[in-house]
Amino acid sequence: MILSRRALNRALLERQLLLRRSKMSVTDAIEHLVGMQAQVPTDPYIALSSRLVGFRADELAKLITDRGAVRTGLMRATVHLVTARDALAMRPVIASVYERLFLSARGDVGVPTFASRLSGVDMEALLRAGRKSLDESPRTAAELRQILKKRWPTVDAEALAAAVHFSLPLVQVPPRGVWGASGQARHTSLEAWLGTKKDLAHDATPDELILRYLRAFGPATVADARIWSRLAGLREVFERLRPRLRTFRDEEGRELFDVRDGPLPDPDTPAPPRFLPQYDNIFLSHEDRSRVVSDDVRWSQREVMVGRFGTVLVDGFIAATWKTTRKDGTVSLRVESVVPLSKRDKEAVAAEGERLLAFTDPEVSHQVNVVQATKSTAGPARTRTRAIRKPGVTLGRARKKEA
């Protein structure tokens, strides 16, 4: 059976709770999604507000401060928000990713790798010292460097600290990651944060993690799962799992794997507008992103990172970017299309934008400005706006400036 791009899109949206908001608890949703991209501390809050009915920021904030959820390095060696039990189960599986990356990581371009800078250092002693220091008190990377440098004064301090960060399961502790709060990234070990009775799982095989990936992101290729996780050797894992899976082909003829009960909605199922944060795993978890990005949109996640904007799904595909600004007691949301939008789509996006602001800034005045591109653009265009004003909402037309 061949699955079209729209079929894959609707399957992804259904599994990612983006076709309709779910009544799941925050804990259940985070586990269903196999964690949430979280290097921007507020991103999981925005992502959950688009996925859950009646989600409140204090629900997640309390889960983090009560240590029911943690911010820790996992898939792709990036910060994810996961439940405490998932952190304990998933870190041993992902440890090989960190081990492999440590051998090639170097910090600055053109300098020797961290591993080569630690030639002759007793790594077991280094990791014991690092764990002891971080378990005594959560510390920033700079503080850890200073402490380790006293023990190994002739060794590069950046490499010493990097070895600890790559090799030990660490968590970023509150107030970082708490809505409305701020703080430097301070780390302690996962075991120390969760308590001495909480131990890491002993099973490092990726089979269960891959099944969970397919439930949340499938149907998917082996390459898709590799992009999501950065795990090596996944072809063998999929072949081992094949008797438990069903398979399809995409329009390019690639083999897609899926759990047997994975939902496959009708490709024509309506998909309402949804606002996504700067980083969201639906954009980061497949080698072929065409299931969420139309052919007209050419910018990459790198451009998202540099531009620091969120994205908007329209009819299930990324069709606009968004940013908020705050001034004089008013929060303004600017939505800028990257593909042409109909008037009906613009109005639906504006309404969803109002809902976003009601979540992020419930106590202040709101202004939503939807700026329509005249043609498909390669990325967020510099614009001038001719606006048609409505109460609290602007529906405008943007023209790409001539160079």
If one counts every other C-beta atom within 10 angstroms of the C-beta of residue 375, the result is: 10
Q: Contact 397/385 with Cβ under 8 angstroms?
A: yes
Render pLDDT for 139-158 as a digit per residue (tens, 0 to 9). 999 999 999 999 999 999 99
Give me the pLDDT at residue 297, please: 65
Give me the pLDDT at residue 199, please: 78
The rounded distance, in Å, linking the Cα atoms of 202 and 210 is 17
How many residues make up the chain in this entry? 403
Q: Contact 144/150 with Cβ under 8 angstroms?
A: no
Tokens of 355: 């809902």
Give me the pLDDT at residue 285, please: 96
Question: Which of 253, 314, 320 is closest to 288 using CA atoms?
Answer: 253
Give me the pLDDT at residue 383, please: 37
Give me the pLDDT at residue 29, please: 98
If one counts every other C-beta atom within 10 angstroms of the C-beta of residue 99, the result is: 11
**Torsion angles phi and psi, residue 157, rounded to 5:** -65, -35
Helix axes 141-151 and 157-167, enclosed angle (nearest 10): 110
The rounded distance, in Å, linking the Cα atoms of 194 and 42 is 22
Q: Contact 42/179 with Cβ under 8 angstroms?
A: yes
Cα-Cα-Cα-Cα torsion 277, 280, 283, 285, nearest 10 degrees, comes to: 180
Using only the alpha carbons of the chain, give its radius of gyration. Answer: 22
Give me the pLDDT at residue 85, please: 96
Q: How do the domains of the chain map onto residue ranges?
A: 2-194, 293-400
CA atoms within 13 A on the CB side of 265: 19
Give me the pLDDT at residue 70, please: 98
Tokens of 274: 């949804």
Mean pLDDT by 10 residues, the chain (403 residues): 97 98 98 97 97 98 98 97 97 96 86 93 97 97 97 96 97 96 94 84 92 98 98 98 98 97 98 96 93 73 68 95 92 93 95 97 94 55 33 41 30
Give me the pLDDT at residue 398, please: 41
Q: Contact 52/26 with Cβ under 8 angstroms?
A: yes
Q: What is the pTM (predicted TM-score) of this model? A: 0.90
Q: Where are the alpha helices (DSSP H) in 286-366?
A: 301-307, 343-360
Question: Which of 291, 298, 215 is closest to 254 using CA atoms?
Answer: 291
The rounded distance, in Å, linking the Cα atoms of 162 and 172 is 15
Question: Which of 151, 174, 173, 176 is closest to 163 using CA atoms?
Answer: 151
